[in-house]
């Protein structure tokens, strides 16, 4: 690979990293050690953010609310950038600057600054086109006091568009918690230097509007979580045939509807061949493309050509379901375990110890996650990424923890976080479609991390393509179109 391609790949990877407050401090220290100073970084961050605000304002007046720390310092730089570009701008200083860099940034701002406080009555507060929130960023350590919350709320209510710089004030950067009630909703949030966990975590992420990253030259930090990337998926090789493309077995259970939904998605997720494995009659409504193999599960799996197996959707939780899960675990095949099979999964089961030695993805939603944590003796403490990592480490499998903001954790502790997905995905059967898509990608790639990441992206994109109020069947059909978008 050429140096230029290598550099571009590295830059793209760095642009996807998600840094906690501690990691961000370490990254900033790295920049200092490399000869940058806080002032220069603040100028870079402020100008980058200022350009976004200038474009959004499109000539309308801007109010910048500045706090005491370096987030406030960014605000003065933004204000000066706007003034330099003939945008009418006014600063409201909620508190005087407390850091050297913020003081210096303020001293360089030549425009109007109104000091908040008793002297600034409601009538004196600016009203305008765009509010820029530079009250607090990653240094927020406690809820906003009543006067600051009221000031923020009043300004937000009187500006048509609202931009939060780095993070909306009142948001905990590491957990996405809202430290105050009634915080404003933002049009745009500009992450400075790197994404923070809160940009991808509930409930904060839904208050942020569109989110964009302003690059200030932060280097890659080892061990950082990553934002889910748009995948690049190769078309089948010229000499591909259905088995080489990936044969997926889907274990049929007591409730055929869920199994068939998974199969509908799997048929469109790239696998060359999808078989429904059933001990009984073929359920009604089986599409022509789905091959039904009837017989005892161990006999059916004796065919050595399976690329992956999906067990869980529609499985049921009775003895017959347990027996099927046992066979799936004993098969040693790459495995996607979903729904009922997750609830039946116990560390004591034969084959569970072997999960680490094969490609395996667990796809729990919150309720199933809690059952798994209980069964695997995990505390369930911490945020969703930490909980997903704990389960991945304990089970040896990749964990795709589903929700409005889904998380993928690998047994080595690495974390990928999905962007907020369409709320229309809150429809029955949506999880079956995801499991079928993961299984399809696993049959093709035999790589649990790649399959989980590709499928999560495809599922999210399929929801966008399906629009609103779609059925899970329509979602399954949209997987094919999403796949077509990312073919290499
Ligand atoms: N350090 C750097 O190299 C850079 C930092 N940048 C900016 O700096 C920000 C972080 O700066 P800071 O660490 O100064 O943090 P903040 O600007 O978020 O504010 C922290 C200050 O506010 C006080 N504080 C925290 N919560 C409070 C509350 N609820 N009520 C009243 N006071 C409160 C703290 O005691 C501290 O003095 C980032 O979010 C980003 O905007 C950018 O300028 C890029 C470069
Ligand atoms: K802010």
Structurally, the chain folds into a number of domains equal to 2
User: Which ligand number lies closest to the CA of residue 101?
Assistant: 1
Domain-terminating residue out of 176, 192, 223: 223
DSSP, res 62:
E
Euclidean distance between CA atoms 275 and 293, whole angstroms: 6
Is residue 95 within 8 Å of residue 69, measured between CB atoms? no
Residue 237 forms part of a structural domain:
no
Out of 20, 41, 43, 138, mutate this one to test ligand 1's pocket (max ligand atoms within 8 Å of CB): namely: 138
For 286-309, letters b (16+ CB in 10 Å) and e give beeebeebeeebeebbeeeebbbb
Euclidean distance between CA atoms 183 and 149, whole angstroms: 8
Q: Report pLDDT for 118.
A: 62
- Do residues 206 and 248 share a domain? no
Backbone angles phi, psi at 104, to 5 degrees: -65, -40
287 assigned ligand-binding residue: no
Q: Please state the atom number of ligand 1 nearest to the C-alpha of residue 167.
A: 39
pLDDT above 70 (res 1): no
Q: pLDDT: is 351 or 263 the higher one?
A: 263
- Residue 330 Cα, ligand 2 centroid: separation in angstroms? 52
pLDDT above 90 (res 108): yes
Q: Which residues contact 436 (CB under 8 A, 6 or more apart)?
A: 250, 261, 262, 263, 264, 265, 266, 269, 310, 313, 476
Backbone angles phi, psi at 472, to 5 degrees: -70, -25
Is residue 400 within 8 Å of residue 425, measured between CB atoms? no
- Residue 222 Cα, ligand 2 centroid: separation in angstroms? 26
- Residue 190 Cα, ligand 2 centroid: separation in angstroms? 9
- Residue 141 Cα, ligand 1 centroid: separation in angstroms? 9
Backbone angles phi, psi at 188, to 5 degrees: -150, 140
Q: pLDDT: is 207 or 350 the higher one?
A: 207
Q: Please state the atom number of ligand 1 nearest to the C-alpha of residue 173.
A: 39
Within 6 Å (CB) of ligand 1, which residues are found? 28, 38, 41-42, 45, 67-74, 98-99, 136-145, 165-166, 192-193, 216
- Do residues 196 and 247 share a domain? no
Q: Please state the atom number of ligand 1 nearest to the C-alpha of residue 67.
A: 17
Residue 208 forms part of a structural domain:
yes
Euclidean distance between CA atoms 13 and 429, whole angstroms: 33
Q: Measuring CA to CA, which residue among 94, 82, 96 is closest to residue 129?
A: 82
User: Which ligand number lies closest to the CA of residue 135?
Assistant: 2
- Residue 148 Cα, ligand 2 centroid: separation in angstroms? 13
Q: Please state the atom number of ligand 1 nearest to the C-alpha of residue 141.
A: 26
Could you list the residue range(s) of the whole structural domain that residue 366 is in?
Answer: 242-485
Cis amide bond preceding 203, omega within 30: yes
Q: Whose CA is nearest to atom 36 of ligand 1?
A: 69
**Ordered DSSP codes for 332-357:** ---EEE-HHHHHH--TTSTTGGGGGG
Count the residues in the chain.
488
Q: Please state the atom number of ligand 1 nearest to the C-alpha of residue 102.
A: 14
Q: Measuring CA to CA, which residue among 345, 338, 340, 369 is closest to residue 435?
A: 338
Out of 23, 137, 151, mutate this one to test ligand 1's pocket (max ligand atoms within 8 Å of CB): namely: 137
Strand residue runs (E) in 368-479: 398-401, 407-409, 415-417
Number of neighbouring beta carbons within 10 Å of residue 146: 9
Q: Whose CA is nearest to atom 25 of ligand 1?
A: 140
Mean pLDDT on 82-106: 97
Tokens (6 digits) for 238: 């010229």
Mean pLDDT on 189-210: 97
The domain that holds 202 is classified in CATH as 3.40.50.10260
Q: Please state the atom number of ligand 1 nearest to the C-alpha of residue 38.
A: 3
- Do residues 11 and 103 share a domain? yes
What's the farthest any 2 CA atoms get from each other in the chain? 83
Q: Whose CA is nearest to atom 15 of ligand 1?
A: 139
Euclidean distance between CA atoms 160 and 182, whole angstroms: 18
User: Three-state DSSP class for 230?
Assistant: coil
Indicate left, alpha or beta for 232 from its phi (over 0: left) and psi (-120 to 50: alpha).
Answer: beta
Domain-terminating residue out of 164, 188, 223: 223
Residue 248 forms part of a structural domain:
yes
* Percent of residues, the chain, with pLDDT higher than 70: 99
Confidence of residue 8 (pLDDT cuts 50, 70, 90): confident
Residue 347 forms part of a structural domain:
yes
SS3 breakdown of the chain: % helix, strand, coil, rounded to 5? Answer: 45, 15, 40
* Mean pLDDT, all residues of the chain: 95
* Percent of residues, the chain, with pLDDT higher than 90: 87
User: Which ligand number lies closest to the CA of residue 186?
Assistant: 2
Q: Report pLDDT for 365.
A: 98
- Do residues 248 and 213 share a domain? no
pLDDT above 70 (res 95): yes
Tell me which residue has tokens 């809202």.
Answer: 178
Residue 470 forms part of a structural domain:
yes
Give the tens place of pLDDT for each residue, 321-332.
999 999 999 999
- Residue 166 Cα, ligand 2 centroid: separation in angstroms? 6
- Run of H or E residues at 207: none
Q: Please state the atom number of ligand 1 nearest to the C-alpha of residue 98.
A: 37
Say what the pTM is.
0.94
Give the tens place of pLDDT for each residue, 118-163.
667 767 788 889 999 999 999 999 999 999 999 999 999 999 999 9
Mean pLDDT on 233-251: 90
- Residue 226 Cα, ligand 2 centroid: separation in angstroms? 22
Asked which of 44-48, 62-66, 288-292, 346-350 is least confident by mean pLDDT, the reply is 346-350
Q: Whose CA is nearest to atom 30 of ligand 1?
A: 144
340 assigned ligand-binding residue: no
Mean pLDDT on 7-29: 91
Q: Report pLDDT for 454.
A: 98
- Do residues 170 and 316 share a domain? no
Q: Report pLDDT for 417.
A: 98
- Residue 137 Cα, ligand 1 centroid: separation in angstroms? 5
Mean pLDDT on 394-401: 97
- Do residues 398 and 448 share a domain? yes
Residue 233 forms part of a structural domain:
no
- Residue 99 Cα, ligand 1 centroid: separation in angstroms? 9
Euclidean distance between CA atoms 290 and 272, whole angstroms: 11
User: Which ligand number lies closest to the CA of residue 148?
Assistant: 1
Tokens (6 digits) for 234: 């190769």
Residue 95 forms part of a structural domain:
yes
107 assigned ligand-binding residue: no
Euclidean distance between CA atoms 321 and 297, whole angstroms: 11
pLDDT above 90 (res 302): yes
- Do residues 257 and 184 share a domain? no
- Do residues 67 and 173 share a domain? yes
Q: Report pLDDT for 24.
A: 96
Q: Whose CA is nearest to atom 24 of ligand 1?
A: 140
Euclidean distance between CA atoms 248 and 307, whole angstroms: 6
- Do residues 218 and 247 share a domain? no
Q: Report pLDDT for 281.
A: 85
Give the tens place of pLDDT for each residue, 437-479.
999 999 999 999 999 999 999 999 999 999 999 999 999 999 9
The domain that holds 277 is classified in CATH as 3.40.1190.20
């Amino acid at each position: 690979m050429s140096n230029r391609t290598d550099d571009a790949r590295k830059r793209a990877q760095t642009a996807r990293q998600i840094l906690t407050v501690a990691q961000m401090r370490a990254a900033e220290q790295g920049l200092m050690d490399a000869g940058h100073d806080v002032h220069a970084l603040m100028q870079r961050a402020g100008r980058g953010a200022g350009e976004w605000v200038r474009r959004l304002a499109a000539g309308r007046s801007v109010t910048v609310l500045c706090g005491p720390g370096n987030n406030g310092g960014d605000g003065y730089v933004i204000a000066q950038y706007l003034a330099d570009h003939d945008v009418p701008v006014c600063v409201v200083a909620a508190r005087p600057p407390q850091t050297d860099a913020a003081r210096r940034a303020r001293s360089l701002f030549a425009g109007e600054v109104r000091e908040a406080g008793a002297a600034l009555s409601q009538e004196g507060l600016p009203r305008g086109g765009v509010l820029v929130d530079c009250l607090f960023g990653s240094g927020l350590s406690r809820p906003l006091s009543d006067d600051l919350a009221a000031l923020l709320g009043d300004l937000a209510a009187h500006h048509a568009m609202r931009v939060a710089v780095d993070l909306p004030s009142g948001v905990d950067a590491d957990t996405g918690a809202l430290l105050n009630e009634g915080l404003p909703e933002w049009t745009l949030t500009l992450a400075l230097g790197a994404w923070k966990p809160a940009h991808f975590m509930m409930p904060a992420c839904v208050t942020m509007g569109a989110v964009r990253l302003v690059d200030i030259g932060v280097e890659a930090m080892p061990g950082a979580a990553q934002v889910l990337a748009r995948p690049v998926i190769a078309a089948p090789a010229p000499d591909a045939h259905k088995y080489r493309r990936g044969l997926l077995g889907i274990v049929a259970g007591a409730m055929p509807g869920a199994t068939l939904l998974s199969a509908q998605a799997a048929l469109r997720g790239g696998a060359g061949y999808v078989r429904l494995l059933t001990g009984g009659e073929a359920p009604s409504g089986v599409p022509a493309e789905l091959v039904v193999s009837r017989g005892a599960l161990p006999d059916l799996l004796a065919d050595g050509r399976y690329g992956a197996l999906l067990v869980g959707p529609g499985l049921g939780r009775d003895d017959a379901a347990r027996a099927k899960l046992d066979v799936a675990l004993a098969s040693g095949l790459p495995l996607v375990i979903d729904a009922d099979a997750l609830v039946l999964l116990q560390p004591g089961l034969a084959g569970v110890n072997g999960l680490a030695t094969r490609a395996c993805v667990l796809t729990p939603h919150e309720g199933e996650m809690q059952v798994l944590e209980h069964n695997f003796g995990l505390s369930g403490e911490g945020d969703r990424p930490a909980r997903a990592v704990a389960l991945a480490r304990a089970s040896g499998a990749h964990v795709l923890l589903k929700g409005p903001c889904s998380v993928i954790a690998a047994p080595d502790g690495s974390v990928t976080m999905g962007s907020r997905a369409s709320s229309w995905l809150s429809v029955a059967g949506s999880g079956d479609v995801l499991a079928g898509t993961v299984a399809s990608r696993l049959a093709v790639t035999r790589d649990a991390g790649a399959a989980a990441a590709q499928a999560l992206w495809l599922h999210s994109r399929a929801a966008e393509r399906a629009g609103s109020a779609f059925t899970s069947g329509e979602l399954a059909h949209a997987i094919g179109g999403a796949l077509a978008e990312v073919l290499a």
